[in-house]
Structure 1
C-alpha cells in the first residue's frame, strides 16, 4: 500500500489477536517507525503479525518531550504509526499531546477504525446507546472520585467508565452512595476466554462481584444507566392550578386555561386530569 508522510492512529486488539483489520496490518508493516505505549508489550503483537518495523516508546512520561522529534521526522518524509497497549490510542491512553502537536504544526493525522473497549461493551450492554458519555478512569483518590461522581448525579445519558480490578469494588460502592439504585452493566475480559457481561442493580452487582474473587479480575468497562428523564413531569404548581380550575370548570376548559397560564402542553394536562377524575370515582 502507498504510505504518505503522516501520523497514523492504529487501533490494536483489546484481547483477541484476530481483532485487527487488514488495513492496520498493512500500515504497521509499511511505516518507518511505530510509536508504542510499551514496546515490550506491543512487541508480542508485532511479532505475531510478522511486523519488523522499529519501535520507540511513547507514554505519559515522555510524550510531550518526544512529540517534537516525531513531528520533525514526519516533516522530513517519514511515516509513523501510533499504537497503545490495547484498543484505540488516545481513548484513556497516551497520544493526545502528540496528535495536538501534529495538528498545530500542520502535520497530517490519519485515523484508522478498529477495536475500542468502550464501544464494544456498549454494543452488548442493553442500555440506551443513542446518547452516552464516556468518562474513562475515575480519580483514584476517594475525594476526587466522589467529586466527579457528584458532578454526574443528574446526567441522563448512559455513563461509561473504565476501572481496574483492584478499585472496582470501591468505585461501585461510591456510585451506589451517589446515584442510589441504578442499573449497571459490567464488561470484563472482553474478547478473551473469560469474557463477562453482567447486568444488575448496583447493590446486587456489588454482592455478585464479592461472591467470587474471579469476578473482579481483568480490566473493566462499567456502564451505568443515566438518571431517569422526568422532563415530561408536570410541576406541582401547575397541577394545583389545574385541580382548582377543575372544581368549577369542565376538564377540557380547565386544561386549556392552565396550559395558557403556564405554557405547558394541554394534552398532558387533560390526560392527568382525566386520570385524577377516574381515580376519584
Structure 2
C-alpha cells in the first residue's frame, strides 16, 4: 500500500463579498488541521463567519524564508495544509507562490481551491480585449524602475492588468500615459463590495477625473494593448524636482500633494523636493 502524499491547497478567499466563498473551500478549511494565513486576524474573521475553528499560523512576505521550511516540515509529517491570502488567490502578489515552490520541490501535491480574483474580475468587466492579457500587478516603487518595466511591455498587443492603492493611483495613471500613450483604460475599485465602481475612458480622461475626485478603495487598472495607433505622450515628466512639482500642480494638485507625487515619480525624498522648492 503506497503512502499518502501530503497536499498543499491554495485556497481563494473573497475579494469583498463573503458570498463568493465556494462550498469546497469552506469544507476544506474545516477539514485540515492547520491554515497558513497572510494575516491571521483577517482570516479569523472569515473563519468565524463560516463557523470554522481550524488552527491558524502566520505566513507572509516578511517571514516566508523562515516559516516556509517550517510548514514544509509540518507537511512532511503527513499533514495537509491550506494556504490563504487576505483576499483572492494565494500566489498572486503574495508569498503563496514561494510556498508552492517549496512544496513542489519536496515532492508534495499542490492543488487549487479556485475562487475570486480581482485582476480577472476587472478584466471581464472592462470592455477591453479578454482573449490575450498580461498581468503586471503592482508597479515598482521608483519612477526609474516603473519606466523600465513599462518600456518592456509598451508594445505588447495584450491587455495589461495592474493593481494600485488609492494614494498612488493618479501618479500611476500619469506614468502609464507618459510611457504607453493615451490608451483606453478601465478602472475597477472595491470589486464585489457595496461601493463597487468602474470608470472607463482614455488615460487622459481618467487623469482629469481623478485630479478632481479623490480615489478611494483598492484599484485594478486594465489598459488596452498596443495597436500601433496609440497616441504617444508628447513629453516626459520633468527631471528637476521643482519643475516636476510644478507639473503636478498644473494638473490640479495642491502643493503638498504635488510635492509628494514629485518625490515618488523621481524616486527621491519629499525633503529633497521641499529643499529644491526653497532654493529656486
> Is TM more than 0.5 here?
yes
Preserved contact between residue 71 and residue 107 of structure 1 (Cα < 8 Å): no
Aligned residues: 226
Q: CA deviation at 1:225?
A: 0.5
Indicate the SS of the match to 1:167.
Answer: helix
**Alignment partners' CA distance in 1, 2:30 and 2:6:** 14
**Alignment partners' CA distance in 1, 2:201 and 2:94:** 29
**Alignment partners' CA distance in 1, 2:99 and 2:151:** 32
Unmatched runs of 5 consecutive residues or more in structure 2: 230-280
Preserved contact between residue 8 and residue 110 of structure 2 (Cα < 8 Å): yes
Q: CA deviation at 1:181?
A: 1.1
Aligned-residue Cα RMSD (Å) equals 1.4
Query: Using a 3 Å threshold, how does the CA distance of structure 1 residues 196 and 208 change in structure 2: closer, same or farther?
Result: same
**Alignment partners' CA distance in 1, 2:31 and 2:9:** 11
**Alignment partners' CA distance in 1, 2:141 and 2:220:** 16
Partner of 1:226: 225
Preserved contact between residue 7 and residue 82 of structure 1 (Cα < 8 Å): yes
Indicate the SS of the match to 2:30.
Answer: helix
Q: Give runs of ≥4 in structure 1 deviating > 6 Å.
A: none
Indicate the SS of the match to 1:9.
Answer: strand
Preserved contact between residue 5 and residue 109 of structure 2 (Cα < 8 Å): no
Partner of 1:9: 10
Preserved contact between residue 181 and residue 201 of structure 1 (Cα < 8 Å): yes
Partner of 2:61: 60
**Alignment partners' CA distance in 2, 1:195 and 1:90:** 24
Indicate the SS of the match to 1:133.
Answer: strand
Q: CA deviation at 1:229?
A: 5.2
Unmatched runs of 5 consecutive residues or more in structure 1: 231-281
Preserved contact between residue 64 and residue 98 of structure 1 (Cα < 8 Å): no
Partner of 2:152: 151
Partner of 2:194: 193
**Alignment partners' CA distance in 2, 1:100 and 1:229:** 38
Report Cα offsets for 1:200-230 as digits up to 9, x if no partner: 10000011122222xx111110000011058
Structure-2-length-normalised TM-score: 0.78
Q: CA deviation at 1:5?
A: 3.0
Report Cα offsets for 1:48-88 as digits up to 9, x if no partner: 11110010000011112112211121121211100000000
Indicate the SS of the match to 1:197.
Answer: strand
Query: Using a 3 Å threshold, how does the CA distance of structure 1 residues 4 and 31 change in structure 2: closer, same or farther?
Result: farther
